[in-house]
């Protein structure tokens, strides 16, 4: 048995793009979807109906949402005191895995990278009790991993200006913070020689979407892929990330 997990930033709530979004999701055949920019619950409800997902949760104005083919033992939004953004916790019934959905602050600049580090540290402190159990952090981290490059020349003019205003160089620390906390970048571990750009769909040049697992759980993550179906460019500005989480000895997690 395994849990097929899809992470998907659906851009500005997804309204008006329900059909291509449902096509992308349906083709991936996930058991659980974690959304970012899912600010309109009516869209998530429509996508759940279109893809045969019996369970879903979303909050108006909240970026993170989910839908699941499996019953859900527990789902909740948590906002650490120092963070502007909530994170989402989902535990499918009968599964050992606990899934934490993440969407960190956007914009490529030195001060927003510092904000992402603050948000990430707050998240890690909140889930510390699960750090050595089977869980994943997944979503749009809005940042670049160590040793990966951002081609500033391909950014829109307003974003190039922000990079320039922040000194022309950004010290990318967010992903290193996750790695230093004992997590592994699963896509990079599985595909050391594949770039894996996830954004934007019309001119992919940066990897913003990640799946992290505690190093002890890495062998149980049997798949992690960036999906690039033909209809993805009509659906969103991000490509979705699909992972397969394998069985964990010892039974399901408590809710």
Burial of 70 (0-12, 13-18, 19+ CB in 10 A): middle
DSSP string, 135-148: EEEEEE--S--TT-
Map out the domains of the chain as residue ranges.
2-246
Q: What is the DSSP letter of 35?
A: E
pLDDT band with cut points at 50, 70 and 90 for residue 253: very low
CA distance 234 to 220: 33
pLDDT band with cut points at 50, 70 and 90 for residue 82: low
pTM for this prediction: 0.89
Which residues lie below 8 Å from residue 136, measured CB to CB, with a gap of 6+? Answer: 5, 97, 98, 99, 100, 186, 211, 212, 213, 217, 221, 243, 245
Return the H-helix or E-strand segment holding 77: strand 72-78
pLDDT band with cut points at 50, 70 and 90 for residue 79: confident
pLDDT band with cut points at 50, 70 and 90 for residue 155: low
Are 212 and 100 within 8 A, CB to CB?
no
pLDDT in tens, 23-49: 999 999 999 999 999 999 999 999 999
pLDDT of residue 163: 47
CA distance 86 to 77: 6
| CATH fold of the domain at 2-246 | Deoxyribonuclease I; Chain A (3.60.10)
pLDDT of residue 145: 84
Across the chain, mean pLDDT equals: 86
CA distance 156 to 245: 36
């Amino acid at each position: 048995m395994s849990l097929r997990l899809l992470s998907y930033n659906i851009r500005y709530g997804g309204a008006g793009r329900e059909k291509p979004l449902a096509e992308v999701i349906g083709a991936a055949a996930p058991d659980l979807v974690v959304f970012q920019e899912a600010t309109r619950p009516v869209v998530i409800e429509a996508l759940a109906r279109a893809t045969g997902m019996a369970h879903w949760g979303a909050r108006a104005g909240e970026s993170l949402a989910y839908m699941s083919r499996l019953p859900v033992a527990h789902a909740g939004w948590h906002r650490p005191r120092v963070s502007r953004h909530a994170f989402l916790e989902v535990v499918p019934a009968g599964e050992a895995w606990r899934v934490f959905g993440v969407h960190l602050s956007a914009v490529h600049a030195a001060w927003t990278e510092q904000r992402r580090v603050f948000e990430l540290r707050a998240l890690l402190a909140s889930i510390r009790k699960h750090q050595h159990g089977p869980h994943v952090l997944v979503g749009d981290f809005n940042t670049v991993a160590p040793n990966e490059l951002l081609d500033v020349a391909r950014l829109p003019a307003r974003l190039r200006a922000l990079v320039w205003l922040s000194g022309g160089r950004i010290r990318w620390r967010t992903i290193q913070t996750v790695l230093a906390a004992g997590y592994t970048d699963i896509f990079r571990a599985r595909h050391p020689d594949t770039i894996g750009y996830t954004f934007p769909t019309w001119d992919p040049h940066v990897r913003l979407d990640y799946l992290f697992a505690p190093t002890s759980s890495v062998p149980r993550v049997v798949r992690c892929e960036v999906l690039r179906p033909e209809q993805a460019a009509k659906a969103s500005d991000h490509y979705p990330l699909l992972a397969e989480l394998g069985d964990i000895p010892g039974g399901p997690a408590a809710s």
